[in-house]
A and B are shown apart, each in its own frame.
Chain A
Amino acid sequence: MAVLFPDIQPSSRRFAPPRWPTSRQRSQSGVVSLRLWGSKPANGELSLGFNNIRDALAGQIVDVYGSAKGDLFEVQLPDSIFAGATGSLLTSLQALTQQGLRWYFKENDPPSVESVRPGISTVRVNLSLELRVN
């Protein structure tokens, strides 16, 4: 099951690409050897900030977290989440899910909602890009 994230453009976005599963050994002589344990990278991170948005939109984000049962179900991100990214960065961001990776809410990290004034809130969302066995 997948849940669709609301079609809102974020005010800020921070992305860390998925990491390759490697292990590192350093010998007594100082020589480093690395071993690759998989054919795909995983565990990317995406932090989104929605500054001063209407409470109705903030509620939609909270509802998505509930529908996704926390970090259990996949969250599908609309193109608006990547607004402002262009060129090869946009291509890279959109291609992530074509490699079998899926977005989920970060474990034990629900959206945080800061009420700014009546009707206006600031929401922070942290997502994790994971490779899961269905």
Chain B
Amino acid sequence: MSLLTGRNGEMRFEGVRIAKCREFSIQVDRDALDCSVLGSSDREYTEGMRGATGSATVLYDEDDPTTIDLVNSIFSDSNGGRQIALILNTTTNRGLSFKALTTQVGTPVRVGDVTACSINFQVTGPFDGGF
């Protein structure tokens, strides 16, 4: 049994590791299209469109240009999104890679706490890799 923990994970932005990522998550959804017909008592479905949203929390590290670039990607108006990779196991490089639009960035600053940025993103286009 080889269970993974957060120590095995890594977040990459444009192919470069985020220095201090506290957590990330991703939710992949797929529509189920109803194709039930008259005369049947049981609903039937076929695959619809797939989509995904995700979030991450990164520690604000001014010395890490990738982190700064990720946080400021909310201000970018470039089309097509930026490349994000969420690696579950850095040893095998297993994880999801995709283009995403940053949809929300928040930076609470508190006394006695490390400044961290929460980032939400919307995946656009197909995935590479898998869970």
- From B33, B38, B40, B49, contact of A12 by CB (8 A): B38
- How long is the Cα–Cα vector from A13 to B39 in the complex, in angstroms? 11
Q: Are B49 and A51 within 8 A (Cβ)?
A: no
Known contacts A52-B46, A117-B49, A11 near B37 by CB under 8 Å: yes
Question: Which residues of B have CB within 8 Å of A11?
Answer: 34-38
- From B33, B38, B49, contact of A84 by CB (8 A): B38
- From A9, A85, A120, contact of B33 by CB (8 A): A120
- Shortest CB distance A94–B (Å): 14
Is B125 in contact with chain A by the CB < 8 A criterion? Answer: no
**B38 — nearest CB in chain A belongs to which residue?**
A84
Q: Are A52 and B35 within 8 A (Cβ)?
A: yes
Is A53 in contact with chain B by the CB < 8 A criterion? Answer: yes
- Shortest CB distance A106–B (Å): 20
- How long is the Cα–Cα vector from A84 to B35 in the complex, in angstroms? 15
Q: Are A117 and B33 within 8 A (Cβ)?
A: yes
- Shortest CB distance A112–B (Å): 17
- How long is the Cα–Cα vector from A116 to B35 in the complex, in angstroms? 12
Question: Which residues of B have CB within 8 Å of A9?
Answer: 37-40
Is B129 in contact with chain A by the CB < 8 A criterion? Answer: no
Question: Which residues of A have CB within 8 Å of B33?
Answer: 51-52, 116-117, 120
Interface residues of A in 46-89 (CB under 8 A from B): 51-53, 83-85
Question: Which residues of A have CB within 8 Å of B35?
Answer: 11, 51-53
- How long is the Cα–Cα vector from A104 to B75 in the complex, in angstroms? 58
- How long is the Cα–Cα vector from A34 to B37 in the complex, in angstroms? 41
Is A10 in contact with chain B by the CB < 8 A criterion? Answer: yes
Question: Which residues of A have CB within 8 Å of B34?
Answer: 11, 51-52
**B39 — nearest CB in chain A belongs to which residue?**
A83
Question: Which residues of A have CB within 8 Å of B36?
Answer: 11, 51
- How long is the Cα–Cα vector from A51 to B33 in the complex, in angstroms? 9
**B contact set with A: CB distance below 8 Å:** 33-40, 46-49
**A contact set with B: CB distance below 8 Å:** 9-13, 51-53, 83-85, 116-117, 120
